[in-house]
Amino acid sequence: MTRQAYGSGSMTERGPGVWRLRVMVDGKQRQETFRGTEAAARKRLRNMAPGEARTAYVTPTSNGRTFGDLLTKWLAHIKARGRAPKTIDENRREIESRIRPRLGHIDVAKLTAEDLDSAYSAWLEELSPSSVHRHAAVISAALTQGVKWGWIDTSPATKASSPSATTTRKLVTPTTKQIATLMKAAQSDDPVMAAAIALAFVTGARRGELAALKWSDIDLDAGTVRIESSLTQVGKALTEKSTKTNRGRTVAIDARTVALLERHRAWQVSLSKEAESPLIADPYLLSDNANGARPMQPSKITDRFTALRERVGMGSVRFHDLRHANVSEQLAAGIDPATVSARAGHASTRMTLDRYAHAMPAGGTAAAAVMGALLPAE
């Protein structure tokens, strides 16, 4: 049972949707039982004591419901209202991939604009402004419905600062020299991050995909890395899901990368022996545990990379930019876009070409020479 004070009045929730309202009017107490939403009960309370209660404000009670609960109910609501299946599916993917893992555990009545802005900033470390804008649109729609249902009094989304859909972030592509500097700096005190940086650059795998890798996914003899899943994070809890495109892929690696992984494997074995904690049967490749039983959290990959880049003076480089470098370097070397797209796990080759056309070698001069050679000689 929750009691909320409003100046000269108060309201107490006696049960789901049942409120006892009390106000003092001309020195006398008035009381009544009201049935309805919390927002409707507050409105009734203001009408009972219009002089004082009208200007009062109290943080609404959520009854323990989280923002994740609101997202689930909102999805069901728009589905029941006949929203297009494609739209519902897109909204669900937005929620499950990023929104719920980051914000779903927060009490919906305690969710603030600062929470949302922190989420937007974190997402901008990995996603384009237009992608973050879509996340923000889903959040805003769910919170607006939450206000209508009486779950919250006002929507924090109205005070948050989401990026514009038309805003574009300049693609930052770290050079091979910068990547070498980052790896060298990490190797001395954070071998796990050094391995993460190397694999992100060589394979182009996403952060969650790297976190999900186990040694059973690595075939050192064949020189391949199999990427089948991705880890998402809800608070401190980790959930393994399919990749972003729902398709697995096998990425070939060269002898130098194989040697790097062999050294990392030897380091893990040495660490487990020192800690007297034997490696489990199939340890995670990126793990802070001596026995490899628990993967490195995706958020920690970002946090530790951020600290590392600032230490070496590369403030504009994000961990996700290693993926950009992977794609750009391959295209610049003349690798065909279909192969690059397949290795990166893009939804289509068209996406690769649309975003990374600038990285491809200039072919205008060569094309002109080919066409000119076809002209008849004078």
Lowest average pLDDT, out of 37-41, 131-135, 247-251, goes to 37-41
**Residue 321 in contact with residue 178, Cβ under 8 Å?**
no
Helix locations, 295-362, DSSP H:
298-311, 321-332, 337-344, 349-356
Higher per-residue confidence, 9 vs 153: 153
Parse the chain into domains and list their residue ranges. 2-55, 67-158, 176-359
Task: Kindly state the DSSP code that residue 169 receives in the 8-state scheme.
Answer: P
CATH architecture of the domain formed by 176-359: Orthogonal Bundle (1.10)
**Residue 268 in contact with residue 283, Cβ under 8 Å?**
yes
**166 pLDDT exceeds 70?**
no
Exposure letters 166-196 (e unless 16+ CB within 10 A, then b): eeeeeeebbeeebbebbbebbbeebebbbbb
The pLDDT confidence band at residue 97, using thresholds 50, 70 and 90, is confident
Task: Kindly state the DSSP code that residue 359 receives in the 8-state scheme.
Answer: G
Distance CA 188, CA 315 (A): 20
Distance CA 332, CA 325 (A): 10
Integer CA distances (angstroms), 328 to 53, 255, 323, 344, 360, in order: 62, 21, 9, 11, 8
Give the model confidence (pLDDT) of 189-222 as tens digits.
899 999 999 999 999 999 999 999 999 999 999 9
Tokens, residue 110:
């305690």
Distance CA 354, CA 360 (A): 11
- Superfamily for domain range 67-158: Tyrosine recombinase, N-terminal domain (1.10.150.130)
Tokens, residue 156:
């924090």
Tokens, residue 11:
């309201």
Distance CA 367, CA 372 (A): 8
**56 pLDDT exceeds 60?**
no
Q: What are phi and psi of 227, to 5 degrees?
A: -110, 105
For residue 22, give the nearest of 1, 49, 51 by alpha carbon: 49
Cβ-based burial of 242 (10 A; exposed 0-12, middle 13-18, buried ≥19): exposed
**Residue 295 in contact with residue 238, Cβ under 8 Å?**
yes
Q: What are phi and psi of 22, to 5 degrees?
A: -135, 135
179 SS3 class: helix
Distance CA 263, CA 258 (A): 9
For residue 12, give the nearest of 24, 25, 23, 26 by alpha carbon: 23
The label of the residue with tokens 């930019």 reads 321
Distance CA 331, CA 339 (A): 10
- What number is the average pLDDT over the span 161-188? 82
Give the model confidence (pLDDT) of 303-349 as tens digits.
899 999 999 998 888 899 999 999 999 988 889 999 999 999 998 89
